[in-house]
């Protein structure tokens, strides 16, 4: 258990950490994946970020970060939407400068139902956004990870990942999202996108909604997931997106599955 605690992140919004939850992470020796969404970026600033970074560093803990994604569109053809997306990412970079995470996860954000009819344009437009962000994060010691959400198969992410590989951008494979939204199974994702894999997001569901249940409390066949992952080198980091309350059950399940 203690070894896994050193090697696994647990998600928490920054405003929850600032409201007192950080003390639990420190007491339990948990590395947080800090969610920096609109509320977190607008209501908190350098002083609070600096205080949290110091508290984690003093305990030998290092965060990862999950960047904003709701209603953002890095490949939008609308200049106003693109400017809003860019501004949120600028705020993200400012926070990363202080928090010093090892990696930053963002949603690629491609949805076939919305963007499929201008897919090539959307991809090229988004690459401009991601190249800028990847360089900014790399200069601050963090690696950009692009996460699957509504993408139906690895082929909808691989063009971007391949174009950005020279900047160290990797795939954050979200197993819960894969179970909900992907027509391709985990074996296909690992086979086709395995070389890009840099991070895992682990949580469970019953295939109907994005419940973010503790591992083993839904319908995802996690033994099969890890049988496929066992053939890969260890990812940069693994995040249990189950919140601190779901962490004990997830750690207990993960101890039986961890292949590395």
Residue with tokens 């405003």: 15
Predicted local confidence at residue 63, as pLDDT: 98
Average pLDDT, the chain: 96
Segment 156-170, tens digit of pLDDT: 999 999 999 999 999
Inter-CA distances, 135 with 105, 139, 140, 221, Å: 14, 6, 9, 37
Kindly list the domain boundaries of the chain, sorted by start residue: 2-255
Query: What average pLDDT does the segment 123-151 reach?
Result: 97
Q: For the domain 2-255, what is the CATH code?
A: 3.20.20.150
Predicted local confidence at residue 51, as pLDDT: 98
Q: Can you list the positions of beta strands (E) in the chain?
A: 8-13, 31-35, 64-66, 103-107, 143-147, 170-174, 197-202, 237-240
pLDDT, greater one: 24 or 260: 24
Segment 50-78, tens digit of pLDDT: 999 999 999 999 999 999 999 999 999 99
Segment 105-136, tens digit of pLDDT: 999 999 999 999 999 999 999 999 999 999 99
pTM: 0.96
Q: Point out which residues pair with 172 in neighbouring strands.
A: 147, 199
């Amino acid at each position: 258990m203690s070894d896994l605690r050193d090697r696994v992140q647990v998600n928490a919004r920054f405003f929850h950490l600032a409201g007192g939850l950080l003390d639990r992470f420190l007491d339990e020796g948990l590395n947080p994946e800090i969610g920096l969404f609109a509320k977190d970026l607008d209501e908190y600033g350098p002083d609070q970020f600096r205080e949290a970074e110091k508290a984690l560093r003093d305990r030998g803990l290092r965060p990862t970060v999950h960047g904003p994604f709701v209603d953002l569109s890095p490949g939008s053809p609308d200049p106003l939407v693109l400017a809003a997306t860019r501004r949120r990412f600028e705020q993200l970079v400012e926070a990363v400068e202080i928090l010093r995470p090892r990696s930053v996860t963002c949603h690629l954000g491609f949805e076939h139902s919305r963007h499929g009819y201008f897919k090539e344009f959307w991809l090229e437009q988004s690459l401009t956004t991601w190249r800028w962000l990847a360089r900014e994060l790399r200069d601050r010691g963090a690696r950009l990870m692009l996460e699957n959400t509504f993408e139906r198969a690895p082929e909808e992410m691989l063009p971007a990942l391949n174009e950005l590989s020279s900047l160290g951008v990797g795939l954050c494979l979200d197993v819960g999202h894969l179970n909900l939204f992907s027509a391709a199974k985990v074996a296909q994702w690992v086979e086709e996108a395995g070389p890009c894999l840099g991070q895992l997001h682990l949580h469970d569901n019953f295939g109907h909604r994005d419940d973010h249940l503790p591992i083993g409390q839904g319908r995802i066949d996690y033994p099969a997931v890890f049988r496929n992952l066992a053939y890969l080198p260890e990812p940069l980091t693994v995040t249990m997106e189950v919140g601190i309350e779901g962490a004990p059950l997830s750690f207990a399940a993960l101890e039986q599955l961890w292949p590395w």
